[in-house]
Amino acid sequence: MNKGILLTTKSGKVAYYKKVNWSKAVIWKDRQISINPDVVRIMFDRVELVIFHDEKKNKCWSADINSVKKNWKLRKIGQEKQYYIPIDIFEEKEVKKIKTGFHKIYEKEVDSFNQQSQMNV
């Protein structure tokens, strides 16, 4: 499992970006996807978009952070608490190469987060 990172889009928006296997990442019973609370605390004060990318399907799902915050709920399903977000708020898009439109930013803070947590997010 990979770690989520902060990116900036071509339009200059800051995004939380995470590669996922969409069919495994989504809780289909509730139609929700989760984000670790540590990610929310460390990164989301400056994020404008949330993007999940499935390279195998060549698709990404994105949502505005205000919509995400309005709809997420902190719950414990399984081992630890996560923020659960309804997948219906995400816009699905076909992508060929997502990396052409994004650039890494805040690398020191992301690296620091990855070292502190020692877990996949």
Q: Taking a C-beta distance cutoff of 8 angstroms, is the pair 36, 82 a contact?
A: yes
In sequence order, the 6+-apart residues with CB closer than 8 A to the CB of 74 are 37, 81, 82, 83, 84
From first to last of the 121 residues of the chain, give the pLDDT tens digit. Answer: 456 888 888 788 888 889 999 999 999 889 999 998 888 887 778 899 999 999 899 899 999 999 999 999 999 988 889 999 999 999 999 876 545 344 443 333 434 434 333 333 3
Rounded Cα distance between 31 and 13, Å, is 27
* 59 token code pair: 């698709």
DSSP string, 35-87: E-HHHHHHHTTS--EEEEEETTTTEEEEEEHHHHHHH-EEEE-SSSEEEEEEG
Say what the pLDDT of residue 78 is.
81
Say what the pLDDT of residue 2 is.
57
Say what the pLDDT of residue 83 is.
93
| Global pTM value | 0.75
Rounded Cα distance between 46 and 114, Å, is 18
Say what the pLDDT of residue 20 is.
92
Structural domain tally of the chain? 1
- Domain span at 34: 5-117
Say what the pLDDT of residue 96 is.
63
